[in-house]
Amino acid sequence: MTAQIFALLFSLVAFIATAPAQEKPQARADWEKYFTEFNATGTIVVADERAGTQAWWAYDEARAKQRFSPASTFKIPHTLMALDAGAVRDEFQVFRWDGVARSFAAHNQDQDLRSAMRNSTIWVYEKFAKEIREDRARDYLRKLNYGNADPTTARGNYWVDGNLAISAYEQISFLKKLYRNELPFRIEHQRLVKDIMIVEAGRDWILRAKTGWEGRMGWWVGWIDWPTGPVFFALNIDTPNRMEDLHKREDIVRAILKSIKALPPG
């Protein structure tokens, strides 16, 4: 009995010692300078797992816990849902443009899964949502533990205009599971989504990310693959100047990632 108690205590101590660093994020007040430089109000969470470390940083921790509409960052889980539901077969299936001229020129053409992700082609994902339907979407969201898992909406798309909301911390948790193929979807589907998320790559690193914009605020979430491990990030900022503010999402993230050598300089 004594040996069993000792073993139990040892296991508990080991668990505490290896508990994820996100339980006690380190505040990075010094990152305020990057938001000030770009005249932006927002938050960023970074989880650096290179070389087996578990560094977990946050600027404006209170806001990092606050839930916002995921906007087009939802295309990451939405693509997994669509693949699982059979709303899309693979990255080669073509969705024919309906001829309706939209404000973003890249949307006014045929799309496949890769271009729909890259261009945030909302009409493709509206097709997915119509086929998946609200009840099944709610089931998927609950299985994913995605934000408040609420796909209801009085008007518009639930991931932009509806009740669905997620925090920066929760974005990181979701991305970590996707990185490790630990989401409740087929591994080949998770690998495909990670492939179509690629934004940029160097000789020994790959940046996978997705922007999002709800109108009043915007996101950039993703991670950088390095041989020694990933660096995850989730930023959201207010966008009072609307489209004029959109570049700030990537500008701030890139400046911070370069400051911790998670992206090469230049």
Length reported for the chain: 266
Q: List, in order of start, the domains of the chain with CATH numbers.
A: 25-259 (3.40.710.10)
- Pairing label, strands 55-59, 26-27: parallel
List the catalytic residues.
72
- Pairing label, strands 55-59, 198-201: unpaired
pLDDT recorded at residue 87: 97
Beta strands in the chain (DSSP E): 26-27, 42-48, 55-59, 198-201, 206-213, 217-226, 229-238
Contacts of 58 (CB under 8 A, 6+ apart): 25, 26, 27, 28, 43, 44, 45, 46, 64, 168, 169
Rounded to 5°, the CA angle 133-121-232 comes to: 90
pLDDT recorded at residue 6: 37
Burial class (CB in 10 A: 0-12, 13-18, 19+), 241: exposed
pLDDT recorded at residue 24: 75
From first to last of its 266 residues, the chain has per-residue pLDDT tens of: 444 433 333 333 333 333 344 467 899 999 999 999 999 999 999 999 998 778 999 999 999 999 999 999 999 999 999 999 999 999 999 999 999 999 889 999 999 999 999 999 999 999 999 999 999 999 999 999 999 999 999 999 999 999 999 999 999 999 999 999 999 999 999 999 999 999 999 999 999 999 999 999 999 999 999 999 999 999 999 999 999 999 999 999 999 999 999 999 97
- Pairing label, strands 198-201, 206-213: antiparallel
Contact status, residue 238 vs residue 216, Cβ threshold 8 Å: yes
- Ramachandran class of 265: left when φ > 0, alpha when ψ lies in -120 to 50, beta otherwise: beta
Contact status, residue 172 vs residue 47, Cβ threshold 8 Å: yes
CA–centroid distance for 66 within its chain: 15
DSSP label of 28: -
Tell me the C-alpha distance between 92 and 212, whole Å.
Answer: 24
The residue behind tokens 């040996």 is 3
List the beta bridge partners of residue 26: 57
- Pairing label, strands 229-238, 217-226: antiparallel
What six digits make up the tokens of 81? 């849902």
- CA separation (Å) from 260 to 41, 206, 255? 21, 16, 9
pLDDT recorded at residue 143: 97
List the beta bridge partners of residue 209: 222
